[in-house]
Chains A and B, each alone.
Chain A
Amino acid sequence: MTRLIRAEALRLATTRAYWLLAAGATALIAAWVGPAAAATTFTPGTSPARATLAIAGLAQTVALLAGTLSITSEFRHKTITPAVLITPRRTPLLAAKLITLVAAGLIFGLLTTGMATAITLPLLAARHISAGLNPTQAAAVIVGGGIATALFAAAGVGVGAIIRNQVGAVVAVLALLYVAEPLLGFIPHAGAAVQKYGLGGLAAATTHTTGFPATAQLLGQGAAILVLTGYAAAVLLAGTALLRHRDITT
């Protein structure tokens, strides 16, 4: 198993797409969080810091995409065949990808959320705005950012194993996050559940930031981590079953 994880880590490190995604997301978060902290007029009664740090949730989207790519790019570039020839047992192969992507997601989430916090708090302080985030809560944001990003990467691996077509998987993920969930959130009554148990609401609760909309009722951090873990486990189980049974014809 160790050598499979080492192989996956090498695969990850030698694929430019992941580095470009990570660099792009980091730059975007910095470029967005800075002006937001420096210039936004915050709604009274909300925490300005938590509202600003919600922007760092982009890290979770990127992790979900990266996890998906870890499988779909193998099918797209036909490297799944040599990969499965070297490692015919497909469950350990998927597990190695999962462990590698979760570790990378954790590090990426900690770094981006930490960076966003390091930009936000001094800017708010300079404007003499109360951040509404004590040091313990700030730690919860950063650690939560790591955990949420790791769990989204895990779910992405499962999604990739289910939807092997790269374009299809990426479109499905983005449509769920940025079209389906926000729209379903507007449905009276049922919408509140979507805001709470949808991926967006769970990410916000896990990272201890505000949801979409900012007034959405969220789960507590611990409960959100549990539900998110459950989602990831469900897609991973389905993905593993499919990967084990499907013929590899590309």
Chain B
Amino acid sequence: MTGLRKRFGRVAAVEDVSFTVSYGRITGFLGPNGAGKTTTLRMILGLIRPDAGTAVIAGKPYALLARPARTVGALLDAAAAHPGRSGRNHLRVLATAGGIPGRRAGQLLDRVGLAHAGRQRAGSYSLGMRQRLGLAAVLLGDPDVLVLDEPGNGLDPQGIRWLRDLLRSLAAEGHAVLISSHILAEVALTVDDIVVISRGRTITQAPLPELLAARPGVSLEDIYLELTGTSEGEPS
């Protein structure tokens, strides 16, 4: 995406964000709260109309993708399931709309470790279970590109390891993965490339090893805090 910009009323949420996500790699999307990460992700996905700039996935704006569910899988908010509907039915509705065979719902519940809870109402799920349900929805169409906003939120250590292995294996299969996170230790273990934005602007885009090699002995956390100008620990 290039030159993305969005204002909400008088507040400039995103001023100028540009970066590229490559197939076969995991890109970590970092930035302080309010930096414009979620707005940027929503612009990439056609949910928010940018005031300027364009975002394309596989050469097309999201809204023009012929088979969106098979091209992009996105998880923006783990709470996005009707509390009265079972996890299984939540997936069945999305699969039906996306032209995906209904049996994928059961397969994916299995894959994300929710097979035992598929018939329970989503409202009874813990945050970690909702993240898993959201990830199942993302994987329904076996998409080439994954966009995940804080997918590790609420996962237990086993869940975090499982997620990391899942993302690594997807990248190894050639999928492009864009993941936003505040948990830098986890990011350092997972991603190949780093994009940092602050106050609505891209500050840096680089492969993680390159970023670390430029400052020997300095942790990703320290580099990040310097880049975003919040190393004193004050809220931005």
Contacts and interface: CB of A to CB of B under 8 A. Distances in A.
The finding on whether chains A and B are genuine partners in a shared complex, rather than unrelated, reads yes
Interface of A: 3-4, 6-7, 10-11, 14-17, 73, 77-79, 81-89, 245, 247-250
A245 to B, nearest CB: 8
Interface stretch (B20-28, B74-82, B156-164, B195-203): B74-82
A231 B13 CA distance: 38
Contacts of A10: 89, 92-93, 96
B11 interface: no
By Cβ-Cβ distance, the 4 closest A-B pairs, closest first, are: A7-B97, A7-B96, A78-B80, A14-B89
B83 A248 contact: no
Contacts of B12: none
Contacts of A86: 68-69, 94, 97-98
B45 interface: yes
Given A7-B93, A78-B77, A247 B49 contact: yes
B56 interface: no
Contact of A77 (B72, B80, B98): B80
A82 B134 CA distance: 9
B45 A85 contact: yes
Q: Is the interface of A mostly helix, strand, loop or mixed?
A: helix
Contacts of A82: 80, 94, 137
Interface in B38-81: 42, 45-49, 62-63, 65, 68-69, 72, 74, 76-77, 79-81
21 contacts: A3-B96, A3-B99, A7-B94, A10-B89, A10-B93, A11-B93, A14-B86, A77-B81, A79-B82, A85-B47, A85-B69, A85-B72, A86-B94, A86-B98, A87-B68, A87-B97, A88-B62, A88-B63, A247-B49, A249-B42, A249-B48
Interface string B100-111: 000000000000
Nearest to A10: B93
Contacts of B83: 77
A89 B48 CA distance: 13
A81 B76 contact: yes
Contacts of B96: 3, 6-7, 10
A85 B74 contact: yes
A245 B62 CA distance: 15
